[in-house]
Structure 1
Amino acid sequence: MDEDGATAVEAVEVYWRPGCPFCMALRPRLRRSGLPIREVDIWADPAAAARVREAAGGNETVPTVFVGPTALVNPSVREVKAAVDRYAPALRAHTRSRRQWWRRRGTSGA
């Protein structure tokens, strides 16, 4: 917990299931973002499936992403990043922008 009593967010939680094309699109993009993520297969974890049903109006809609107190059902990477900025800005310390990546790559070769 932090000084105001809130639980610290350690990672973006991505709930997914095998064969889901939306999951297969989102998960690699989130990995490349540099955000710390925790991926949970709802078919392997009944409690995770229940959490998704609670967030998605009784459906097992994936991907469902949790950032702190908020749940995002089938979000874009932009929506996840906005939720991180609002609910868990400390997670951004793990990321680097594309510009930083490009500079690092461009300066290492010549």
Structure 2
Amino acid sequence: MTRAWILPMVLVVGGSVVAIGQIAAGSPGVAAVLLVVFLLLAVRYSPLVFPRSIGAVEAQRRSAEDGRPIVYWRAGCKYCLRLRTRLGRDARRLHWVDIWRDPAGAAAVRAATGGDETVPTVVLAGRPYVNPDPAWVRGQLGQGDGTRS
């Protein structure tokens, strides 16, 4: 299991334990509600809500071809989740690199941020932007390919 799945698994196991406790206490309705809440949190903090990640080298190649930004991210990062959520469907138009799965991606972020692995780091036309405003990122998508979101 990779680090990206640790928090979601803790939420699933924790929610199951809490639900079992509620069932044992005679509150199956409360148990069901709590279990659903924990499961929704697990999905929210899992890599499942992000577009499929690719390697940094492949993302750089694709970005050079199509001009789309690269987003370096990691699971469990609330700022990455905020960016992903606010981009909505437009998130699929970016190249996503999970720095926990790709050492080259982590190295690219460290090089861009002066040694830290601060995410999200968005690279557009070779220039890094650390934790940019989602509206700004969406605006860059509209400018890059001649369409507006």
TM-score by length of 2: 0.50
Moved runs in structure 1, 4+ residues, more than 4 A? none
1:76 alignment partner, one of 116, 130, 133: 133
> Is the alpha carbon distance of 1:40 and 1:49 closer, same or farther for their aligned partners in structure 2, counting shifts above 3 Å?
same
Gaps in structure 1 of 5+ consecutive residues: 1-6, 97-110
2:110 alignment partner, one of 53, 56, 63: 53
- Aligned-pair identity (%): 42
Give, as a single letter, the amino acid of the residue that structure 2 aligns with 1:91.
D
> Is the alpha carbon distance of 1:43 and 1:26 closer, same or farther for their aligned partners in structure 2, counting shifts above 3 Å?
same
1:62 alignment partner, one of 94, 119, 127: 119
The two structures, once aligned, show a CA RMSD in angstroms of 2.4
Q: Say whether the 8 Å CA contact 1:26–1:76 is kept in structure 2.
A: yes
TM-score by length of 1: 0.65
Q: Which residue of 2 aligns with 1:27?
A: 84
Q: How many matched pairs?
A: 86
Give, as a single letter, the amino acid of the residue that structure 2 aligns with 1:50.
A
Give, as a single letter, the amino acid of the residue that structure 1 aligns with 2:89.
R
Structure (1/2) with the larger strand percentage: 1
> Is the alpha carbon distance of 1:18 and 1:40 closer, same or farther for their aligned partners in structure 2, counting shifts above 3 Å?
same
Distance in 1 between residues matched to 2:131 and 2:115, nearest whole Å: 15
Q: Which residue of 2 aligns with 1:37?
A: 94
Give, as a single letter, the amino acid of the residue that structure 2 aligns with 1:28.
T
Distance in 2 between residues matched to 1:63 and 1:75, nearest whole Å: 8
Question: What SS class does the counterpart of residue 101 from structure 2 fall into?
Answer: coil
Q: Which residue of 2 aligns with 1:100?
A: none
**Larger-Rg structure:** 2
Question: What SS class does the counterpart of residue 80 from structure 1 fall into?
Answer: helix
Gaps in structure 2 of 5+ consecutive residues: 1-63
Give, as a single letter, the amino acid of the residue that structure 2 aligns with 1:48.
G
Kindly indicate whether structure 1 or structure 2 has the higher relative contact order, using CA contacts under 8 Å at least 6 residues apart: 1
Distance in 2 between residues matched to 1:65 and 1:36, nearest whole Å: 13
